[in-house]
Chains A and B, each alone.
Chain A
Amino acid sequence: MRLEPIPAPGPARTLGLPALAIAATVAVAALLAALAGANPLQTFGLIVKGAAGSRFAMLETLNRATPLIFTGLAVAVAFRAKLWNIGAEAQLYAGALVTVVIGTQLGLPGPLAIPLMALGAILAGALMLLGPVLLKTRLGVDEVVTTLLLNFIMALFISWLLEGPLKDPMGMGWPKSPALPRDARLPRIVEGLRLHWGFAMALICAAGVWLIQTRTTLGYEIRAVGQNPQAARFAGIPVGRVLVKTALLSGGLAALAGFSEVAGLKGNLTSDLSPGFGYTGIVVAMLALLHPLGVVVSALFVAGIFVGADSMSRAAEVPTYIADILLAAALLFMVLAILLTRFRLVRG
């Protein structure tokens, strides 16, 4: 068996195969629903209704998509350079932590506090990824494992802070931080609608990343380093420095997810601030084929699945983990489908 490139794939292949991947994912979901004794069609109906069936549902989906756009962009930026940042979760918490510390401890007025919180968060997230990247470029330590392990270390660090120095004295013993003052929170985009400026920021970031990737020398360098570091180095591209810049960008974007969740939605920091937004960002980025504008679409889709599945599982006897399986299956089917648009497997 070997892969053979297809010289000029037609639209039937380039469009049909991704469509087939989606169909296969749906089939898996139907099977899972049937296993749970539910009617698959009804289950899908409930998921769609839960995700987009009402104004409330749609706003909920947009809110859930906001951190996913940030983490999805973080992953997309890094993966372009073949920098395997699996630590968006830790970077998110670093951002959230700095946001809370600046917002609650410095006593600054809102208009000053909010930009400072955002900048601080970006810096914290960037620094979180700087360590693993320097270990990679200087010592050749694989960043996949170090960034993964940092997620666990960060979770424990946050847990300690929330039970110790950063514990809310008025929190009735719950491990949570004090809340941001009112004026240090992100305002809503439209008064009365539960959607904050974090979402708009996420869209702006997506456009910004797209501009960087397609129009700047840095974007060109990132793509070159990702595609062929050996040729990039030979051509005079400073590979190490490009990776560091990529890391700062990626870590900063992931941290903004934490900033936006705290300042826009939750108001304080708890150890369950993120239900795995960092890891889900990988799915978001891969489904978008690492395209920054695609990340927005794919984040909305993924958020819709999660919100819809939550609401569905309240009505039907189907566990909400169906959403996680669905996304993992979508990821695997999609990478395979994309490969098969360019290659076919032949015998011999």
Chain B
Amino acid sequence: MATQDPAQGDTVLRLSGITKRFGALTANDGISFALARGEVVALLGENGAGKTTLMNILFGHYTADEGSVEVFGQPLPPGQPGAALAAGVGMVHQHFTLADNMTVLENILLGTEPLWRPRLGRPAARRRVRALARDFGLAVRPDARVGTLSVGERQRVEILKALYRDARILILDEPTAVLTPQEAEALFLTLRKMVAQGLSVIFISHKLHEVMAIASRVLVLRHGRLVGETATATTTRHALATMMVGAEIAAPAAAKARPGNVLLRLEGVSTAPQGSRPGLRDVDLSLRAGQILGLAGVSGNGQGALADLLSGLETPVSGELRIAGKAPAAWSPREALAARIGRIPEDRHRTGTIADFSLTENAVLESYAHAPASRRGWMDWRAARRDAEAIIAKYDVRCPGPETRIRLLSGGNMQKLILGRVLEAAPRIILANQPVRGLDIGAVTYVQKQLIAARDGGAAVLLISEDLDEILTLSDVIRVISDGRLSLEFARGEKTPAELGQWMAGQGFDHAA
């Protein structure tokens, strides 16, 4: 569809007919739009709509199958991030592209000087980074090692990388996904300063309220196509949501929870920090039957440690873990499974499944050691296959068959298999770590409904998510994690998002304790 064209002289970027296919999937289908000087355009769409692919083409990570890109009137050579950078395009990736073992300054300097120059110009660069940081409100220490920085600081480094190269067009891919609401506000302030200086920003998001807050224009992507374009001044959130999903979204409606006994209790538990990841610090936590406890927090604040602890991968250095009132004698993933803790891991590709194993082999990953999947050390592949077929049917896993290698499945179908594997074992406690991240709306709704059903069936659910909206939708009670410490328990609706954001930023812990 045609989009509003900025006044001719003002156009800094023009994408024309961009099409990109991955095998049978068309990730981008003939997308065209233009960007004006000093404008913030939001690229809105749900997961898998093709936003990131489009920006990766613009930045040169991918080459488009069709179409072209023009920056400041000049055609941009495809497939070269170097050319995009030279033309004044900067990109802040959703997964930061920083070397943890190197300093902030080194990360910023990387690739900015001719490789054959005999010396790095560190002192001059340090001065320039300080000046940029001051001008745009991006406080970081140039000589700090990136591995020691918080997520918010790392994002500031990423933005500085682009500014240091005099980027005129900045792409931000889901920049607020890892920030507290307050940090997001600070980011918006920085973006406004940049726009005031004539920079243009493309802001990728699937969060409507942010889009409404920062962008002047919204482009909506669905299934790889540009399906709508509108000024934020003349639209509503509801209209955008409908455009993004193509239909009205029905959020999973949950009956009121009927909490039962405490099934799992942590008393004063601390765990060891690992590298830059904090451990838990004197954590008390109770998970009740028939209740979803939502754990909010900025990524890297100890969620990993808590998930690893409940998964059996880690043991407390002090304090006690009690399951149904009893402290387990030993603690490992096997013991966790034996205690009927079902675990949905954060990373379904690396932790949840084995890519080159078949669906059958993945389905029995947690149950292969005993009947029916095996007897006295011998695998019963027929029984294993029956298990897999049952999960495939019951959880609607779309696949050619149980012998397919799981790497060929979409993220949503992979997650459904994991969900089936977990729920078919009839867990009493469910650890769901970012269970819907990266899934499309259909899969999101499905997974969330299953979690609510498990709760209604009497399971205690711990939902860990960096997405505050998700926490607010699903949780019966909410706690916030910050730097390894847990906040008090809040009832659903007790705190506003802004108040929770303050807890996420670490405020309130000292007098609360």
Contact = CB atoms under 8 A, between A and B. Distances in A.
Interface stretch (B42-50, B371-379, B442-450): B371-379
Interface in A61-96: none
Interface string A196-222: 000000000000000000011111110
Given A227-B355, A228-B350, A228-B355, A233 B333 contact: yes
B142 interface: no
B333 A7 contact: no
A255 B312 CA distance: 37
Interface string B303-339: 0000000011100000000000000000011101100
Nearest to B356: A227
Interface string A217-261: 111110110011011111110100000000000000000000000
B354 interface: yes
Given A7-B24, A348-B78, A348-B79, A217 B352 contact: no
Given A217-B377, A236-B334, A348 B63 contact: yes
B23 interface: yes
B354 A227 contact: yes
A215 B378 contact: yes
A215 B361 CA distance: 12
B78 A231 contact: no
B352 A234 contact: yes
Nearest to B370: A217
Interface string A177-207: 0000000000000000000000000000000
B379 A217 contact: yes
A220 B352 CA distance: 16
Interface centre among B313, B343, B350, B379 (most CB of A within 10 A): B379
Contacts of A224: 354, 357, 361, 365
B377 A218 contact: yes
Given A7-B24, A224-B354, A230-B350, A235 B377 contact: no
Given A215-B378, A216-B379, A234 B345 contact: yes
Interface in A294-348: 347-348
Contact of A231 (B23, B336, B337, B354): B354
Contacts of A234: 311, 313, 333, 343, 345, 351-352
A221 B365 CA distance: 9
Contacts of B332: 236, 238
Interface string B344-373: 010000111111110001000110110000
B387 to A, nearest CB: 14
A223 B343 CA distance: 22
Contacts of A219: 379
Interface residues of B, number: 33
Interface string A1-43: 0000101000000000000000000000000000000000000
Nearest to A346: B63
Contacts of A236: 312, 332-334, 336-337, 366, 369
A157 B57 CA distance: 60
Contacts of A221: 368
Contacts of A230: 350-351
B309 to A, nearest CB: 13
Nearest to A5: B23
A7 B23 contact: yes
Nearest to B332: A236
Contacts of A220: 361, 368, 374, 379
Interface centre among A215, A220, A223 (most CB of B within 10 A): A220
A234 B351 CA distance: 7
A168 to B, nearest CB: 44
A347 B80 CA distance: 11
Interface centre among A7, A215, A236 (most CB of B within 10 A): A236
B350 A235 contact: no
Nearest to B353: A231
Contacts of A227: 354-357
A232 B369 CA distance: 13
B370 to A, nearest CB: 9
Contacts of B334: 236, 238
Contacts of A215: 378-379
A232 B356 CA distance: 13
A230 B348 CA distance: 11
Contacts of B336: 236
Interface in B200-255: none
Nearest to B79: A348
Contact of A217 (B345, B354, B368): B368
Given A224-B357, A236-B337, A348-B78, A231 B63 contact: no
A232 B354 contact: yes
A44 to B, nearest CB: 37
A217 B378 contact: yes
Contacts of A223: 357
A220 B361 CA distance: 8
Contacts of B78: 348
B330 to A, nearest CB: 12
Given A215-B378, A217-B374, A218-B377, A231 B365 contact: yes
Contacts of B343: 234
A236 B330 CA distance: 13
A216 B351 contact: no
Given A7-B23, A217-B377, A220-B379, A235 B366 contact: yes
Contacts of B333: 233-236
Nearest 6 interchain pairs by C-beta: A348-B79, A348-B63, A236-B333, A236-B334, A235-B365, A228-B354
Interface of B: 23-24, 62-63, 78-79, 311-313, 332-334, 336-337, 343, 345, 350-357, 361, 365-366, 368-369, 374, 377-379
25 contacts: A217-B378, A217-B379, A219-B379, A220-B374, A221-B368, A223-B357, A224-B357, A224-B365, A227-B355, A228-B350, A228-B355, A230-B351, A231-B354, A232-B354, A234-B311, A234-B345, A235-B365, A235-B366, A236-B312, A236-B333, A236-B336, A236-B369, A238-B334, A348-B62, A348-B63
Given A216-B378, A234-B345, 8 more contacts: A5-B23, A236-B312, A236-B366, A236-B369, A238-B334, A348-B62, A348-B78, A348-B79
